Structures are given as structure tokens and as C-alpha cells.
Structure 1
């Protein structure tokens, strides 16, 4: 049997890391021996273990060690290996693929943090630092980190503080007390604001259809949202409501469809594009209400990413998907909390761009989307199955009630 020693340190027991490591070894056909194990004597003190990993052939051992590295294990103290990219967008065969957990690379004897942490990227030395770079954006000749030694991942550990992310991180169901959860989200927004972290809202058109645009506009106007990420449809229906008082041709005061209403969103696109875009439409007085109006007035940056199903689109929409991805990534820098509100397409896209340490709240009428997002491997993600309009109304009320305590 081949043998290799690995070391793991952190909150290994209550964060379920050690059980997952043992399971990975056995499932891949290996064996383990616990050579040393020290349990933290308080909730703040980390635990430590040194394991011997055994496997019948080199390929199995390599596969086990690769899996353990993603759980934070280190096998040696050698520097990381790099190889040049063969061409633009072409990586060496042994490239290392990142997770959304904070990662460190050993270079010249020092552990360097990887910048722009996100999943499914290569690690490239660029600008004097290792950073996550999407495969298609790697340039010929750039040094790309290879699998093996000199790479360390820090999995998220379960929070020691009581918060909504503690008791809701593994519970996604319509049968929860939504008021308690929403109050917890409001407290987390207050913590993010105190810490100087961005609060990001990723929104879909259901926010408009459900009436959630009014409380969302209040949140923007009162400084609770720092970045708005959406697609063409959200902005179009918000502007349709602002100009024609309909959404998808349905009157937002009576709830009844209006004659010829199916063209209203196209009329809104045409009118706003003629004005020169969303900001120009607000400045001219064409658009005097709605979420986009509040974002422009409050100077909250927004990014609208296009798709192949878009009508129009609006002039402000980025139709090049690579450029839209870059714009989303740039807007997410410094994010501490992300509200994902009734949009599968953009929520999943943003989830793939965020490091696991960013707390995310996914709200949708279906359980499938929150479950998919919570499976990103983050204990900082919760899902709430409810109407997004109700969620935003309650959230705005909770934040208003807490306003005197806001810094």
C-alpha cells in the first residue's frame, strides 16, 4: 500500500470537515490511520489532526489527496508548481481548478492568498499576485498553477455566532416562520453595513409582477442596497410600470389585463431607448418612479446582463455575455451580503462568481432554486421559499423599525 501523510486544522468536528474527509478516503478505495488528533478545548480553539492515507496504487492515492486538498488538507510544504498557458484560453493539462473557498498558494516559501476568489477558475500569476481567472481569459504564456503541492484551501466553518445563517443553513422549506428569518436577514444587513461591506440585490421580473418593486425602491432610496444586478426583463417591466402603469400588460392598480397590453413592454423599450437610455429617461422626467428610477437617483450602480430571449433590448443591457460576466464580477467586489430575489438565471450566475464567505439569501416560490444555490458548499447561504413581494415588504418594515440603531 502507498502511504502519504496529511494535516488538517480548523473546526473539524462541528463543521463536518473530518467526517467528509474520512468518507472521501474510503469512497475512493483508500484507508486512513489517525496518527495524531487534538480537539479544540473551546469553541474558539481549532482542532488538529495528522492522518496517514493509504491506497493500493498511485492513481488512487493522487485522487484521494486531490479531494482532501479541497477540504483544506495539506500534504507537503513544497512551493506550488506553475506552467505557462499554451495559448489564449488553453491551459496546461494539469491545471488546478478552484472552488469558491478561500485559497492560498505557496510561492517562494510564503503562502499567498488567491485574489478574486471564485469557483471553476484557473489560478494565474498576474500583476505580481496569484488570482482566479476564467479559463477563456487566460493569456498565452501566463503562469498557471498545477495540481499538487503548494495549494491550500480554507473551507468555511460553521459560524460561532447565533445568526439566521446558523440555524437556516441546512433548512429549506416553505414550513418555517418566515417572519423570524426575515428579521434575521435585516440584522445581517445591519452587520454588513457596519462592516463596510456591499449589499447586493440580484433581481428578476417577478419582483415587479408581485409588487415587490415598491419596497425594493424604498431599500435603495434609504441606502440599503449598494449594487443592483439584473437582466433586461427586470428593467423593462419596471420601466413599463413606471411609464404605462402595467407589467406584462396587466394593470398594476386593478390587476386586469389591458387591451393591447402585450405591446406595452416593447413601447417602454422603444421610449427609453429613444431618450438615450435609463439614466437619460430619468433625467428628462420620462421615468419618475420604479426601481431603476430610484437606482439612478441614488447613484446605485446597476448591471443588466442580456440573454438570447431578450426583447429589445434596452440600450443599457450588456449583450456580450463575456463582458456581462466581467461587469458582474467587478460589481461584486467588496460584497458581504447578496440578496437573490426570484431569478434562477442570474442567481446561479452570481453564485458562481461569489466566494463562499459572502452570505447569500435566496428567495423564490420554488424550493429547487434555493436548494441548488445552497449546495454551493457554503454554510453562509440560506434559502427562503416564499413570495418575493411579501419578503421585500417585511424586510423593508424590519429595516425601518431598526433605523434608529443604524450607524
Structure 2
């Protein structure tokens, strides 16, 4: 395997305008949850702040977070709602270093200048060739399995198909997932498939709709609520397959964020949107690879709280983000956020998951 993490190129602060730039301005919070006027809003990129004459990199980032100088001398990223009276917020709106703030978007840039400025089909669409993207993803995931933190963001479509549901379950069981972010629907229909063989009332293999099968997902939720937990449901009903089963039996964190449109919901679904955001954030801040499948709003939410870089073993490395959806609008919505390492594939997520499983796990090996 030839995969290597792209090397980070540090900015040269031994030149202008960095040498003569002033220290950043800092203003204390006066009201809980309210930033000072002219606060600096963080981007997804590495950002440096001049403190006591030294340029300090924020150890992490989050789009639209606020940089706060901690008592330990480090720059902490704080959501507006979590600001407390006395927090020392960095203020300033320029990004070129002249106010002691430098947004660095070229840390992982290639020096390749062979590409022409004009080219046909430079966007990502149904006509794009994705063979290279798949091969790079296989190499990345083999590396990340033991060296990174792979987070999957899942929409329910991934469990509507018999093969893709089995493929994703196998990927989880074989160590290619370190956390899963989803909603009530994905978990409900996965468990419905395990218990009834249907997803939203339709057989996951032959697409037939048995009589009264439209009750299945509601019956499943009701059974889960009666059992009190998903784990208790699986034990009571003898469920031994699927995405949720693989996650729980392999101790892979499963964060289910609630929605205004949820049925039930399942017992572990987090109804408080900010609590759900906090739980998701625990994993996106550790993520080294984020793979988002057929869930536009969940993808945008997870993408916005995932930085373009992270620090592992003292090294700065990029966070790779993949967005897979059959709709061009959905994938380009995330790509437009300007992330350093977003790769989008316009394809059926069910086919995508099966391809990934077949290339990462040898036939007849693993679950």
C-alpha cells in the first residue's frame, strides 16, 4: 500500500507581515452565551493567533466557532451558546495576519502545476469518472482502520437494500468504523429489517410489500420502547444482524440525533438538538475521515462541525471528508463549504457501500 498522509507545510512567520503584526485583541465575555462585538468567527482551516509575540495554532477548529484564550495559553474553540462570563474572546475580522489573526488555507496544498486552468467537466456530476476516488478511498480506509478515526454519517437509504445493509454491517464488524452518526430513521429501518425483513414496509431484497407491512417500523419502535433499550430489544427478539447490531456488539458509538419528524422515537434517540450536537461533536472533533451517505441535512450538520485538520501524535494532518449521494445538489452543497479534503461521488449509496466492502474485505473472510 502506497498511501501516505499529506504533509503539512507550516507558514513562515519569520517574514512580513507576521513579524510586525500586533498581538491579537482580546475582549472578555460580559453575558453568558453572547460574544463581544467584532468577535472573530473561526473557519474550517488552520488558524494562527499572535499571543505575547508568538503565533499559536488553534488546536482544533469548527466553522463559526469562537476562539477563546484559555488560562493554559491555548486557543480553545467554543460555540456561542457555551460562552461564559469572563471568557477571553479573540476579536478581529481580517485573516491575513495584520491583526494578529492568520487563516491558513494552503497547509496541505500540492505544488502540482501541471493542471490546465481550463478543462471540461471539472465539477462533480453523474458523468464524473470515480475509479481513482474509489481506489484512494480503499487505501485511506485501510490506513485509517488502525491509525485514524473513521466516522460514518448515515441516512436510512443505506439499510433499505439487503446487500448494502449486510455490506455496511461487515465493514463495521471488521474495524472500518469508529463512530456512527445517524437519525431515528436509519436505526429504526435497520432493526425493522432484522426483525421483519422489511424497511419502511418493503422487503429489502425483492421490494415486495407484505400485507400490513406499513406497520412494521411502528411496531419495531413500540417493541423497542417496551424493552427500554435497543440492546434489550435485540436480546428479547433475537436480533443478530444489521448495522445497529454490529455497532453495539463491536462497541462502536452510535449517536442518534432526533428530528421534528420522528416517529416514536427509539429509546436512545436524543431529542434535545443541542445535546445531540454535543454528542456528535465528540466524534467529529476526533474524526480523521468522515463518510456521509445519502442524508443531506445530517451531512451538512456533521460537515460544519468537522474541521479540515486535526492533530495526531503531534502531527497536523488533514481530515478527509467523503459525501456520497445520488443527487448532485446534495454533494455539491457540502463541497461548496470550501473544505480542504472533500471528495464527492454522485452515485447510489447502496452500490457504493457494496463496492467498498468487496474491496476491503475478501470474499469469505469477515462477517
Q: TM-score range by the shorter chain?
A: 0.7 to 0.9
Give deviations 1:44-82, integer Å, cap 9, x for gaps.
89899989xxxxxxxxxxxxxxxxxxxxx8584321111
Of 76, 90, 103, the residue aligned with 1:153 is 103
Q: Is the 8 A contact 2:161 2:204 kept in 1?
A: no
Q: Is the 8 A contact 2:296 2:330 kept in 1?
A: yes
Q: 1:109 Cα shift?
A: 2.1
Match of 1:130 in 2: 75
1:206 lines up with 2:157 in the alignment: yes
1:361 lines up with 2:322 in the alignment: yes
Of 264, 267, 270, the residue aligned with 2:216 is 264
Match of 1:389 in 2: 350
Partners of 1:75 and 1:390 lie apart in 2 by: 53
Going by fraction, where is strand more abundant, 1 or 2? 1
1:115 lines up with 2:65 in the alignment: no
Q: 1:179 Cα shift?
A: 3.9
Rg bigger for which structure? Answer: 1
- Count the aligned residue pairs: 332
Q: 1:253 Cα shift?
A: 3.3
Of 174, 183, 188, the residue aligned with 1:236 is 188
Partners of 2:127 and 2:149 lie apart in 1 by: 30
Would you identify which runs of 4 or more consecutive aligned residues in structure 1 move more than 6 Å? 44-51
Partners of 2:50 and 2:258 lie apart in 1 by: 39
Partners of 1:45 and 1:82 lie apart in 2 by: 25
* Cα separation, partners in 2 of 1:315 and 1:159, compared to 1, 3 Å: farther
Q: Which has the higher contact order (CA 8 A, sep 6+)?
A: 2
Match of 1:9 in 2: none
Q: Is the 8 A contact 2:285 2:305 kept in 1?
A: no
Partners of 2:110 and 2:196 lie apart in 1 by: 47
* Cα separation, partners in 2 of 1:92 and 1:216, compared to 1, 3 Å: same
Q: 1:172 Cα shift?
A: 1.0
Give deviations 1:220-275, integer Å, cap 9, x for gaps.
01111111110111111111111111101112233111222222111111111222
Partners of 1:403 and 1:137 lie apart in 2 by: 49
Give deviations 1:347-385, integer Å, cap 9, x for gaps.
000110011231111100000111111112123111101
CA RMSD after TM alignment: 2.7
1:139 lines up with 2:139 in the alignment: no
Match of 2:43 in 1: 99
Q: Give 1:147-296 correspondences, 5 Å limit.
A: 147=92, 149-156=99-106, 157-159=108-110, 171-194=123-146, 196-211=147-162, 212-296=164-248
TM-score normalized by structure 2? 0.84
Q: 1:210 Cα shift?
A: 3.4
Match of 1:311 in 2: 263
TM-score normalized by structure 1? 0.76
* Structure 1 alignment gaps of length 5 or more: 1-43, 52-72, 162-168
